[in-house]
Amino acid sequence: MRDDGTMYDGKRVARDNPIAVKANFNEPPLISRETFFAVQDILARRHKTWIRTKHGSSNALHPYLGHGVLYCGTCGMKLYPKPVKRRHTITHYYLCSSNTNRNKPCGMPMLHQQVVDQEIRTWAALRLTSPLYLKTLTPPQPLINTTAIQNNIDRLNKKVAQQYASIGEVGNEALLLKLIKQNEADIARLEKELQVKPKPMEFEPTKLRKRFLNFGKLSLEEQKDRLHTTFNTIRVDDEGSIIGVELRK
């Protein structure tokens, strides 16, 4: 603190060499590998997304039916609303997020909002009420990578065997015993993972069909809600045609 009462923390100087922080890879992970990669996919999807908003704007005021669920069929990034004002008229488009935030544009053209939204309504009325089409949306059932888990168990067993063979030949035997205990705990955890059966994903085509039987008669906000509560993503090509979807779990 200076004499005048102000605070001074000193001058910040960048270090010439970074500080090495040692990591203990023998500690058991806090979350499973499947959960980790699932979260990474969600973060990557959100990171590559940019949605244009204005102060005081409301999602309820714009006409974009697919806002929030439409994704580019070329690069996989989200499409966001793009109103274009020409003189006294405003034309609404969907624009791929690859055109923003210094990303490399993927080449997807701007899509007319009315054309894409009509495509969604037609697809919902014809396809999402077809039992045959709905069967094609059945999500793949989750699988456990038993081979990778077993390989980790075998690797840890070999490591533990080597560590037991080193007892009496190392200086810090207490540390060695601690590492053995940690590795044995990892083996026990992995063996439990092998026994766990993945929870099957629930999918009821009949219930999904009922949700979209009267889709065309719903208000815009009701249609948006129906799409958002059913789908994570709806991918479209450069003509606005739907080429793939991902259901919410």
Each residue's pLDDT tens digit, 155-178: 999 999 999 988 888 888 888 899
Query: Given pLDDT bands bounded at 50, 70 and 90, which one contains residue 15?
Result: low
User: Taking all residues of the chain, what is their mean pLDDT, rounded to a whole number?
Assistant: 83
Instruction: Report in angstroms the alpha-carbon separations of 205 from 32, 195, 198, 199, 202.
Output: 31, 30, 21, 19, 10
Q: Is the pLDDT of residue 199 over 60?
A: yes
Q: What digits encode the pLDDT tens for the residues 202-214?
A: 788 999 999 999 9
Identify the pLDDT of residue 187. 92
Q: What percent of the chain has pLDDT over 70?
A: 80
Identify the pLDDT of residue 49. 47
24: left (phi over 0), alpha (psi -120 to 50) or beta: beta
Identify the pLDDT of residue 133. 92
Identify the pLDDT of residue 58. 44
> pTM of the entire structure?
0.57
Q: Which residues pair with 246 in a beta bridge?
A: 233
Identify the pLDDT of residue 198. 76
Q: Which of 101-110, 111-120, 169-178, 194-203 has the highest mean pLDDT?
A: 111-120
Identify the pLDDT of residue 132. 92
Instruction: Report in angstroms the alpha-carbon separations of 200 from 188, 230, 248, 249.
Output: 25, 18, 14, 11
The CA distance from 112 to 119, in Å, is: 11
Q: Is the pLDDT of residue 55 over 60?
A: no
Is residue 232 within 8 A of residue 246, CB to CB? The reply is yes
Range 208-228 average pLDDT: 93
Identify the pLDDT of residue 25. 59
Query: Given pLDDT bands bounded at 50, 70 and 90, which one contains residue 22?
Result: low
Query: Given pLDDT bands bounded at 50, 70 and 90, which one contains residue 102?
Result: confident
Q: Which residues pair with 89 in a beta bridge?
A: 86
In degrees and rounded to multiples of 5, residue 173 shows phi and psi of -70, -30
Query: Given pLDDT bands bounded at 50, 70 and 90, which one contains residue 38?
Result: confident
